[in-house]
Amino acid sequence: MRFDVITLFPELFAPFLATGVTRRAFEGPAACMDLCLWPLREHADDAYRRVDDRPYGGGPGMVMLVEPLTRALQAVRAGQEQAGRPRTPVILFSPAGAPLTQARVRDLAASPGAVLVCGRYEGLDQRFIDRHVDEEISLGDFVLSGGELPALALIDAVARLQPGVLNDAQSHEQDSFSDGLLDCPHYSRPEVHEGEAVPPVLLSGHHAAIARWRRERQLEATWRRRPELIQAARGRGELTAADERFLATLQL
């Protein structure tokens, strides 16, 4: 799969691609992803390589111009056509977008990729959004200086779902949100730290008991911190009778 990224700051991506788990998705035996950066200023048409201007109607800040953005996207499309790759959807990172979820990450991980548009300043000229953007995504109800960090977050989330990227193929299956709930607590050595011991069930070797303990801790953490996820899991029919009995004990 491939991500084409339209950005004002391509230099932000190089350290990320060469570090940690994500690196395996782009180089080495497990390489299964490609990333192409499209510096937006290369598609400006004046001597100053201007990509922004004051907003019509007044107000603070600057707006990214529609024409450089359109030319950058046209270059992406020409490259896709020349290489025989499919036209992938255009994703814009925006506070107005839908929250990014693990379900959406899984869908993207199984797709040919996407064109990621990293906005800056006060935003993009609406005409580019209306004509070319297929989906707007948000990391949450807060504002960042640009779309590069959300793009990196999305690429990281997708990369770790690719075969061979994680040392243990089951690691991502036990992550938070992999089954719609928060993850359970995890423990490692030493067995006792400052008087606090690892829960005995995890030392028992009883796999069924350990699985049930982990499930109950998932349910408890989700019920206390993100109760709306419990309701969503109920709506999807994903809670068992044993799950419901345990949740009932939390509400007493």
Point out the residues that are catalytic: 95, 122, 160, 175
Q: Which residues contact 210 (CB under 8 A, 6 or more apart)?
A: 201, 202, 204
Distance CA 120, CA 209 (A): 51
Which structure tokens are listed for 100? 């990014």
Please, are residues 159 and 25 in contact by the beta-carbon 8 Å criterion?
yes
Please, are residues 150 and 139 in contact by the beta-carbon 8 Å criterion?
yes
Distance CA 43, CA 49 (A): 8
Distance CA 211, CA 124 (A): 48
How many residues can be counted in the chain? Answer: 252
φ, ψ (nearest 5 deg) of residue 237 = 70, 30
Q: Which residues contact 92 (CB under 8 A, 6 or more apart)?
A: 117, 119, 124, 129, 133, 135, 136, 137, 147
Tell me which residue of 137, 119, 140 sits closest to 52, measured CA to CA: 119
- Collapse the DSSP code of 115 into the 3-class scheme (helix H, G, I; strand E, B; otherwise coil) and give the result: strand
